Structure 1
Amino acid sequence: MPIIRISGKLVYFAHVPRAAGTSVERYLRARFGPLAFADPAYLSVPEARRWTRSSPQHVTRGALDRLFPEGFFDASFAIVRHPYDRLHSVFLRQRDIESQIPPETPFGDWVSTLPQPEGALDNHTRPMLDFLPKGTRIFRLEDGLGQVVDWLDDLAGNSRGPREIGVSNSHSERLALIGRDPEPPVPDVDESLRRAIIARYAEDIYWCGYTPRAERPRMTRPEQPERTVVLHYHLFKNAGTSLDEILKRNFGNRWVTREFSMAGGDNSAELARWIAAEKDAVAFSTHTGLGPVPEVPGVRIVTVMLLRDPIARIRSAYRFERHQDADTFGARLAKETDLEGYVRTRLKNPADRQCRDFQCSRLGTMIPGEAPELERAIAAARELTVLGNVADFDGTLVSLARALKDDFPEFHWESVQANVSKPAKKAEANSEEVTELLKKANQNDLKLLQTLFG
């Protein structure tokens, strides 16, 4: 459970064994300084003198929850790896380097001995979820570690220090270090063994995004809903304020709004708790909902989201932040520069998605997995109850009224325009050049709208 300070924030790295954890620890030390609660020499201590069953870096979530109160860390993150590949790596490490598995043991025979006692092999065979605290930002090793650097840049508020996470503690590196020749490679396994491994780590497969959404089991039992609510995913400068105004006119104080931390990358569990707790509320609106649509027992959730031409959206965002009375990065930047400077500055930071396929980035979180972000965004959009186009705002309201007619037959609407930003002509010079820049940076958002609305 390595702990590190990053720009005044206390950050926890959930070190999943055999998922590039040592490489990330070395990067964190090189960039931010010493780690706490990490002991690379743990295994060199005689077993009788060890104070814990596992090394501190492989502590389980249960132990962590006992030691640290909820909310103690400002952020947490983890690298995960497909369970089959991770288990294969554990086997090689324990057979060839740690000598905990006899060299003649077939991989399949060893797999059949799992699960092993708690703490065995320094917790290497534990499911990945056993290491991940609630709200942890999950990165998949298969997607590359550059995304981790981008996230740390955003957390630190700068891009100083090393720009790549190198490879450390690899199998070949450790063999060379101890002067041992590689053992014979593990033969290819048959599909039945692969399926057995996937079945054994089924929760890891689901929650870490390695199973297509269509194949995932329901996480709650089907039951007759006791209430129907509206969940409005309010995307910045996509006519969401106008939609909220209509919801407020219909539901009064039963319309509620709340924002959530986005540091973990998936706050759907928090949204579910919010909906469950606000028992009298009907309409819920948030700018910061990430992850799969929440499931709340006994609740039918009508989801609604508005999309918009990305170039028009970014221009509107600039106008709004230019006049906004706020001390946010976007508001300060918009007041200090013209539209071109605003766009170019935001595009320089890979972790800043405001001017780069913003809508795909939000929708893509709803279906975690291996597929490209655009594909996941399209699939997620099609699963929403009501998907609207700002260019056809009234059509969106017609669809919403239709979705609510059984539970709220008196739902009514009239076109409204709220929070509309007026053009700042002088600050929006070089219009054609900026438009081309935005087209290039928002190709996926443009494809998204073309696919969904034609």
Structure 2
Amino acid sequence: MLRRKRKTEEVRNVLVHFHIFKNGGTTFDHALKREFKGGFVEFDGHAANSVHLPSEVSAFLHTRPKVKALSSHHLRFPLAGDENLKLYGVVFLRHPFDRMHSIYKYERKQKSDSPGSQHAKKFDFPDYIRWRLDQGRSNLLCNYHASILTCNPREGRRVPDRGLALERLREVAACGTVDQLEVSLALAEQQLRPIFPELNLATTPQNVTVGRKSSLQGRIDEAEKACGGELFAEVAARNELDLELYALASELLRERLAGLENEEACLESYRTRCEQLA
């Protein structure tokens, strides 16, 4: 006989971090590890290109009832909870040109024999980008955010869906941008505290590229100068969706911050707590 679930069973809330490669995720995970301690878990596959099905995430969480926050590089939307498991997604987007330069610098210094690391060490930046682009639509640099939001190769969905990507970004529990990560985390605290009371996402920068320019525009200009006009234009064309998603994430960040009754107090409190950790 099947066991019927008790109606009085408490609903379990779990924060789920879509940890996109080179998108400030290590800094966010640093806060989650401190905040949730043994209730935090990383759920990555064995290969760099692993992909978890939504049902696998739910099944994994059901075997670990004490987990309150999960982070993974290999998640794909949508999240799939149930009547006793509610999942709250968090995702951070990065300007595509800023991200690709960061990936190149990271793979050049990485102690790895992966193809990406080997080519980054062998090529200058433009040739590395051309090599990445030659891999086709599934490569790491072209509309990668849109793919995370709408594609799942294990289910045959390989072409990003613009409308669905924009919709899912609007609906995720908390989103932000890497160039405004401090502000994004301060806002995420406020958005998530009704579910996770007294949540403290204060943190210190982790895994940051040494010697990078301080402003986003400066880093974009640096990438354009290194690429040259023709290659830069090609990368822009092949990241049309991600550029639109980044613009939407920036707009949502501004709108939601402005909607806080105590915006300045929230930001000041967050910055003070971060300074205390430094």
Distance 2:48 2:109 in 1: 25
Distance 2:186 2:212 in 1: 33
Distance 1:345 1:453 in 2: 30
1:430 equivalent in structure 2: 226
Distance 1:282 1:357 in 2: 30
Per-residue CA deviations over 1:397-433 (Å, capped at 9, x if unaligned) read 2332223324432322324211111358999973443
Distance 1:264 1:320 in 2: 20
Distance 2:112 2:228 in 1: 29
Per-residue CA deviations over 1:227-249 (Å, capped at 9, x if unaligned) read 21110000011100000001111
Distance 2:159 2:224 in 1: 37
> Which SS does the other structure have where 2:179 is aligned?
helix
* Counterpart amino acid of residue 110 in structure 2: Q
1:135-214 equivalences in 2 (<5 Å)? none
1:387 equivalent in structure 2: 175
Distance 1:265 1:413 in 2: 27
Please tell me whether the aligned partners of residues 262 and 290 of structure 1 are also in contact (alpha carbons under 8 angstroms): no
Please tell me whether the aligned partners of residues 346 and 352 of structure 1 are also in contact (alpha carbons under 8 angstroms): no
1:445 equivalent in structure 2: 242
Distance 2:85 2:146 in 1: 27
> Which SS does the other structure have where 1:430 is aligned?
helix
* Counterpart amino acid of residue 446 in structure 1: L
> Which SS does the other structure have where 2:90 is aligned?
strand
Distance 1:284 1:343 in 2: 32
The TM-score, its normalising length taken from structure 2, stands at: 0.73
1:324 equivalent in structure 2: 110
Identity %: 26
Choose the corresponding residue for 2:200, options 387, 391, 412: 412
1:269 equivalent in structure 2: 55
Please tell me whether the aligned partners of residues 256 and 285 of structure 1 are also in contact (alpha carbons under 8 angstroms): yes
Q: Per-residue deviation at 1:394?
A: 2.3
Off by >4 Å, runs of 4+ in structure 1: 222-225, 261-266, 366-372, 423-429
> Which SS does the other structure have where 2:180 is aligned?
helix
> Which SS does the other structure have where 2:248 is aligned?
helix
Please tell me whether the aligned partners of residues 76 and 150 of structure 2 are also in contact (alpha carbons under 8 angstroms): no
> Which SS does the other structure have where 2:210 is aligned?
coil
Tell me: CA distance 1:321–1:226, structure 2 relative to 1, closer, same or farther (3 Å).
same
> Which SS does the other structure have where 1:256 is aligned?
strand
1:292-311 equivalences in 2 (<5 Å)? 292-311=78-97
1:313 equivalent in structure 2: 99
Tell me: CA distance 1:339–1:380, structure 2 relative to 1, closer, same or farther (3 Å).
same
* Counterpart amino acid of residue 34 in structure 2: R
Distance 1:223 1:360 in 2: 39
The TM-score, its normalising length taken from structure 1, stands at: 0.46
Per-residue CA deviations over 1:349-371 (Å, capped at 9, x if unaligned) read 21532111111111112899899
* Counterpart amino acid of residue 196 in structure 2: F
| 5+ long unaligned stretches in structure 1 | 1-221
Tell me: CA distance 1:381–1:331, structure 2 relative to 1, closer, same or farther (3 Å).
same
Q: Per-residue deviation at 1:395?
A: 2.7
Please tell me whether the aligned partners of residues 251 and 282 of structure 1 are also in contact (alpha carbons under 8 angstroms): yes
Please tell me whether the aligned partners of residues 42 and 72 of structure 2 are also in contact (alpha carbons under 8 angstroms): yes
> Which SS does the other structure have where 2:247 is aligned?
helix
Tell me: CA distance 1:390–1:236, structure 2 relative to 1, closer, same or farther (3 Å).
same
Please tell me whether the aligned partners of residues 132 and 140 of structure 2 are also in contact (alpha carbons under 8 angstroms): yes
Larger radius of gyration between Structure 1 and Structure 2? 1
Q: What number of residue pairs does the alignment pair up?
A: 233
2:13 equivalent in structure 1: 228
* Counterpart amino acid of residue 375 in structure 1: G
> Which SS does the other structure have where 1:335 is aligned?
helix
Please tell me whether the aligned partners of residues 319 and 424 of structure 1 are also in contact (alpha carbons under 8 angstroms): no
Please tell me whether the aligned partners of residues 94 and 178 of structure 2 are also in contact (alpha carbons under 8 angstroms): yes
Bigger relative contact order, structure 1 or 2, given CA contacts below 8 A and separation 6+? 2
Please tell me whether the aligned partners of residues 275 and 296 of structure 1 are also in contact (alpha carbons under 8 angstroms): no
Distance 1:435 1:236 in 2: 21
Tell me: CA distance 1:245–1:264, structure 2 relative to 1, closer, same or farther (3 Å).
closer
2:185 equivalent in structure 1: 397
1:96 equivalent in structure 2: none
Please tell me whether the aligned partners of residues 234 and 285 of structure 1 are also in contact (alpha carbons under 8 angstroms): yes
1:245 equivalent in structure 2: 30
